[in-house]
Amino acid sequence: MSRFVRRSLLLAVLALIAVPFTAVGSSAQEAPDLSITVRKVVIGTGAPSEVSVNCVGNRDGDAEATIVEILKFDAQGNPVPGGDTDFAIEDGAWVEVGSSGAGGQCTFTEVTTGGAASTAWTCAYTFTPASAPAATQVQQAGCQGAAGSDTGPATVIYPGNQEVSEQASTVVFTNTFGSAPPIQPIEPIHPAAQVVAQPVFTG
C-alpha cells in the first residue's frame, strides 16, 4: 500500500475513503472531528517500547480493516520520530487528527515493553453529540474499559460523524521497571538518659 493511500485512509481515519483530497467534486478534506492520542509513562530506568494501533472502519454497515500503525517510544517514554507512521508528535505523545467518517474502532496494544516488570494502561474518551435524537446515539461508544494491568488491548469504539460532532480518545501505557527499594528497618527510639539536676544553692 502506498504512503499516499495510507495517508488518505488515516486522515479519513475510520471512513476508509481512499481517494485523493483533490478528487473531482471535493475541494478540501473533511474538517477534522476526531483526535486519537497515545501516550507513554515510564517509572524507573526504562527501555525503548512500541505500541500498535489497529483500526477497523465501517463502510455501509460492514467492517473493513484499514491499517496498523506501530508507534515507537524511547527509554523515557518520549515518542521516537521517524518510521512509517502518519501520527504526529504533540506535547510528548503520538497524536492523529482526522475525520470520523462512518465510525469504527481502534485497538491499542503494547507489543514491545522493553522488559518492564509490569505494564498498565488507561483509556479516556470524550465526545460531543450531534443534533440527532438521543435514541440514535451509539450506546457502546468510547473506551470499552477504563484501565487494565497488562499490555492491552485497549479498545475504543468511535461513532460516525452523523452521531457525534467531535470526539477524542487518549490511551496511556505505563511501564514500571525494577522493583521498589527495600524498606529499611526503623531503629527503635531509645529515651535519653534521665538527668538529675543538682541543687545550685545549699543551706
Direct distance between the N- and C-terminal alpha carbons of the chain, in angstroms, rounded to an integer: 108
What number does CATH give the domain 31-176?
2.60.40
Task: Kindly indicate the confidence band of residue 85, based on its pLDDT and cuts at 50, 70 and 90.
Answer: confident
β-strands 142-143, 104-112: how paired? unpaired
- Domains of the chain, residue spans: 31-176
Question: SS3 of 10, please?
Answer: helix
pLDDT, tens digit, for every residue of 15-70?
433 222 222 233 345 678 999 999 999 999 999 999 999 998 876 555 555 778 99
Nearest to 173 by CA among 36, 78, 39: 39
pLDDT category, 189, cuts 50, 70, 90? Answer: low
